[in-house]
Amino acid sequence: MKYILYARKSSEDKSKQILSLESQVNEMKKLASSLGLDIALTYTESKSAKLPNNRPLFLEMVKLLETNGSEDYGIICWKIDRLSRNPIDSGKIQWLLQQGKIKAIQTSDRQYLP
């Protein structure tokens, strides 16, 4: 299985940001290495996730997962809230996971499975 590394930093309140995009990517690469996960793609974007359909790279990743036929993909991200902060995007991710289009979501502290 191959993993898509997704890192997001909000473009809104920068004072609340914990890890920079570079730090998130580095931490997830270390985690992937320790767990033996193969990162095939990396998406990084600096956008708020409060509104649905506001993140072009997130939408590109979702489209890839929806239309992918033969490759098994998982997602690796620092925290689950880096993927979504609104119910529409959360629902997309949950549906793809439930349908097996996403085989696993790995965060720094947990793994989510279908």
| Per-residue confidence (pLDDT) for residue 17, from 0 to 100 | 54
> Any residues with CB less than 8 A from the CB of 53 and at least 6 apart, and which?
59, 88, 89
User: What pTM does this model have?
Assistant: 0.90
| Per-residue confidence (pLDDT) for residue 13, from 0 to 100 | 57
| Per-residue confidence (pLDDT) for residue 71, from 0 to 100 | 82
Q: How far is CA 61 from CA 13, 57, 97, in A?
A: 25, 6, 13
pLDDT tens for each residue of 41-58: 999 999 888 999 899 999
* pLDDT < 50 stretches in the chain: none
| Per-residue confidence (pLDDT) for residue 85, from 0 to 100 | 87
HSE of 24, CA atoms in CB hemisphere, 13 A: 25
